[in-house]
């Protein structure tokens, strides 16, 4: 899932860069910059989530091999990771929707001019 979000994030950045030349107002350009910052932030979150998942997988392997049981601590960590992933996916969905509306408005405005 994170790989898909990472690829999608690249597409979003490209789409945003495609409409930048169509922007004539400073306030709209500032909105575009906000989108770009959110994409950069998403890249950082993806790296952090991948690290957390990898560390958790190593801990699971170690724990399962040592006593064949998942401790409450590990189960709690797993729930936290699951919740973090779900929250991130929802945020990405909202960002996708906002970007689509923003770029559609830019394109429509430039066609009317």
CA-nearest of 91, 56, 53, 80 to 70 is 56
Count of alpha carbons within 13 angstroms of residue 112, beta-carbon side: 7
Q: Which tens digit of pLDDT belongs to each residue from 14-51?
A: 999 999 999 999 999 999 999 999 999 999 999 999 99
State the pLDDT at residue 68: 56
Q: Is the pLDDT of residue 104 over 60?
A: yes
> Quick check: pTM over 0.75?
yes
The CA distance from 70 to 65, in Å, is 10
Locate tokens 């922007």: which residue? 23
The CA distance from 76 to 87, in Å, is 16
User: In the predicted model, what is the mean pLDDT of the chain?
Assistant: 91
């Amino acid at each position: 899932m994170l790989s898909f979000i990472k690829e999608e994030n690249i597409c979003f950045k490209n789409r945003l860069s495609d409409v930048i030349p169509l922007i004539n107002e400073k306030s709209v350009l500032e909105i575009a910059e906000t989108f770009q910052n959110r994409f950069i932030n998403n890249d950082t979150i993806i790296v952090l989530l991948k690290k957390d998942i990898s560390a958790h997988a190593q801990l699971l392997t170690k724990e399962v091999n040592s006593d064949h049981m998942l401790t409450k601590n590990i189960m709690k960590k797993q729930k936290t990771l699951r919740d973090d992933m779900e929250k991130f996916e929802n945020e990405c969905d909202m960002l996708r929707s906002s970007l689509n509306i923003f770029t559609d408005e830019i394109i429509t405005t430039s066609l009317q001019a």
